[in-house]
Structures are given as C-alpha cells and as structure tokens.
Chain A
Amino acid sequence: MEKFPGRDIARFFILIVVQVTMLDHINLQGFANPSLYLYFILLLPFEVAGWMLLLSAFLIGFGIDSFSNSVGLHAAAATAAAFVRPYAIKLAGAPAEYEGNLKPGIGDMGLRWFFAYTLVVVFVHQFSLYMLESLRLAEAGIILVKTITGTVFTLALIVVVEYLFMRKRG
C-alpha cells in the first residue's frame, strides 16, 4: 500500500510556488488572502500516518513562511489544521472502510462530505493564523472578520481547484 505517493510530494512544491507567487498578492482591502496550500493537507491519503501528517503540514507552513518572512506563523497554523484533520474526517463521516483506496476528495466522497471536511480544517487554520498574526485582544473584531472572509475565500478556491483537478474514477 502506497502511503505517501509522489503525487503528494509534487503537490507540496507546486502549492508553495502557487501560494507565494500568486495568491499572496491577492488582496481585497486587506481582507482576503486565500490559503490554497491547505489543499495539500486536505488531500493527503486517509491512511497517512499521524506523524507524517503533522510533520508535512509543519514543513509546508515553514516553506510559506520562508517566502513571506512570517517566521513560524504559517507553520503553527498549518500544524493546527493538520491536527484537526482526523476529527474533521470523523465529523464529516469517516468512510466505512478504507480498503477501497478512497481519497479524501470530491471524486470519492462527494461534494457535501468534502465541503464539511474542508470547512472545519480551513476554519481552524484561518483562525489560528489571524490570531497568532495579531496577538492583540483589541483587534478581536478584525481577527473575526478576517477569519470568516478568509475561510469563505479559501473554501471556495479549494472546492473550485478540487473540481478542476479531481481524479476521475470509474
């Protein structure tokens, strides 16, 4: 059984490049900066080992940090997102058995499942990101607004990308 295929490794690097070259320059009055790189964490196979999940999330976050001089910020948020991933899968309804080599995408699990699963992971990521970024109670309002707008934009972008690159299954 392939635990960590080349497809995931390729996604790791491609998403870092896309994030730092394009998405980080998107900016609507400072309230929208979709974190598409979460797509990497979301699409890791169901049966990925816990340590691998956390460590690869930390590394992709660190990669994003290196390009934006936000030392440790994305690493912390991405690790938090990876930590809630198993719970998000449970919440969205874990597949009865993994033996069918299912992937956590729309193709295998359906849009509703993917939407709920992504929503939880993205929300946790965005909330911890903006909270750590500001670290000020006085900015709680802005943090909340940014979390919500960021979650909506990221979620929408991930669903669109997932539709575009969905693996077609027989």
Chain B
Amino acid sequence: MRHILAFIWKHSFFFLFLTLEFIALILIANRSFYHRSVFSNANDNFTGSVLTSWSGITSYFSLKQENKLLSAENARLMQLLTKSQVSNDTASEYVNDTLYKQQYTYTPAQVINNSASRRDNYIMLNKGRRMGIKPDMAVINPQGIVGTVVSVSENFSWVMSLLNKHSRISARIERINQMGTVIWEGGNPATGTLIDIPAHVKVLPGDSITTSGYSNIFPEGIMIGTVEEITVDKGAHFYTIYFRFSADLNSLRHVYVVGNLFREEQIELSKKIINGEVPR
C-alpha cells in the first residue's frame, strides 16, 4: 500500500507539472485574450504603481542626459517657428487656419519600465486610457521611433518596443524613396533589420531610414535609423539591411504617444476594398 501511494505521489508531481505548464503555455499563446481580461487590467494597475515609484527613484540618475535631449529638441522646434525664419516671398504673408487640419496628436509620457534583453521587449508608460491613450498609437522620442501601444489600462499602457519579434514597421529609405519593413532579429538591441528593399536599387551605408506613413500609425518621415551593412543572399530579390536605431531603446525616459485622428477613417476606407465594395 505504501508503495502504491508513493507511486501515485510521484506521478501527482508529474501531473501537476504538466497542468501548470499547460496553463503557462495557454497564457503565452493567448496573450491578446489575456490582455482583454479584467485580471490583466487589475494586474497592470498594480505593477504599474510599483514601477512608477521605482522609476521615480531611478529617473534622478538620468536627469542630466534627459535635459540635454529635451533642450536639443527645444532648439530644433524653435528653428521651425515662423518667428525664426525669414520669408523669401515679397508678397505679404497670411496664415489661413483652415488650410491645415491637425492629423496627429502628441501626448508626453514617461517610461516606467523597459527592457532590451529579451526576445520580446515591452515598455510601460505612465499614461493610460484616462489620458486618451489607445492601442495602436505610435510612440516616439526626439531621436526616433520607439514602438506601438498594444494594451492600455486605466492609468498605464504597455508599448511593444521595436525590439520585439512581432514588431513590423513600414519604413522607407529617405534618399531613394524605397519602401521596406523594419523588423528585429534579436540579439543586439542597437541594431535592427530592414527587409523587402528590392536588390536592384542602390543602398549606401549611412542612408537614413524613416517611417513611410503608410501604416496609419506612425506619421511620415520620422527617423528610425541609419544603414550600416547591406547584404543580399545569392539569387534573392531583396536586400537584408542592418541598421543602427537612432533612438537608444535601452535608455528611454521621456517619450511622446502619437495619435492619428484620421485613423478610423483610413481603416474604414480600406475595409471597403477588403470587403469588395469597391471594384478592384
């Protein structure tokens, strides 16, 4: 009897192991489902408040660098002001407010958690649904793009970093205006990969890679990185281009969450094509 019990005991260990692994694998596979659950919301609010107080401490260590970045950005924006430019035109200048319609909104946010060492890296921001953050908003910093918002709770949001295997950003090489896709192959957090650039065009090291504006998430022309190494497999029609991210994704502090006010309209329109309402 004792032996039988011992036998069952040994197997109960194994079966509990299987059960727990099964639960964990279901969580991994159904990440999006988990994010929609109430539990995830409460959990995010808890971890968010812990991480906020911790980043309150650590933010002091990077104040100097952050100030430098912010003042550099201020200087850049100052140059864009009409005040600091001289008109070439002899005709009198007029400003027509209805000429421009705002498409993108910028919400400043602070990074309270970030990683670069995993295969899938996520960033937590201290702004959430209450401040108007929604999934599929873009996240950028003064140096370049950072990622995309994937889930929000009341006061916090998780951002999928560029350093993530699910991250695919529509990009182009500024100089030759060629479209491609930015992905990350893991490993070095400073280097990304640009694919889908046809091999017949000439790409040079040092070329700027910027957002294409075709994704209805990122505004057009925001810096992603600069080309470092260009390779093409034998017989392949497309380059594999390695480039350096312009934003230091391992030391983020202040970022902007960018919302596209026309996003719904753009999606609505593209749905018409997918549904076949418009003749192709």
Residues of A within 8 A of B (CB): 20-21, 24-27, 29-33, 50-51, 54-55, 58, 61, 66-73, 75-76, 79-80, 82-83, 86, 130, 132-134, 136, 139, 142
Contacts and interface: CB of A to CB of B under 8 A. Distances in A.
A25 B118 CA distance: 10
Contact of B28 (A29, A76, A80, A136): A76
B188 A71 contact: no
Interface stretch (B16-24, B73-81, B168-176): B16-24
21 contacts: A21-B54, A27-B116, A29-B189, A30-B116, A30-B186, A33-B117, A50-B13, A50-B16, A51-B12, A61-B24, A67-B50, A68-B115, A70-B118, A70-B120, A71-B27, A71-B31, A72-B34, A76-B24, A79-B21, A139-B185, A142-B187
Query: Which DSSP category, helix, strand, loop or mixed, fits chain A's interface?
Result: helix
B243 interface: no
A68 to B, nearest CB: 6
Interface in B188-240: 188-189
Interface residues of B, number: 41
B119 A72 contact: no
Contacts of B120: 70, 133
Contacts of A66: 43, 46-47
Contact of A133 (B35, B119, B185, B189): B119
Contact of B13 (A27, A54, A61, A133): A54
Given A51-B12, A69-B122, A73-B28, A29 B187 contact: yes
B273 interface: no
Contact of A54 (B17, B34, B165): B17
B25 interface: yes
A72 B189 contact: no
Nearest to B50: A67
A69 B158 contact: yes
Contacts of B9: 50
Nearest to A59: B20
B26 A72 contact: yes
B12 A75 contact: no
Nearest to A27: B117
A26 B17 CA distance: 30
Contacts of B124: 69
**Residue among A26, A33, A71, A134 with the highest chain B CB neighbour number at 10 A:** A71
A150 B225 CA distance: 29
B119 A51 contact: no
B250 interface: yes
B51 interface: yes
B41 interface: no
Given A68-B122, A69-B158, A72-B25, A27 B189 contact: yes
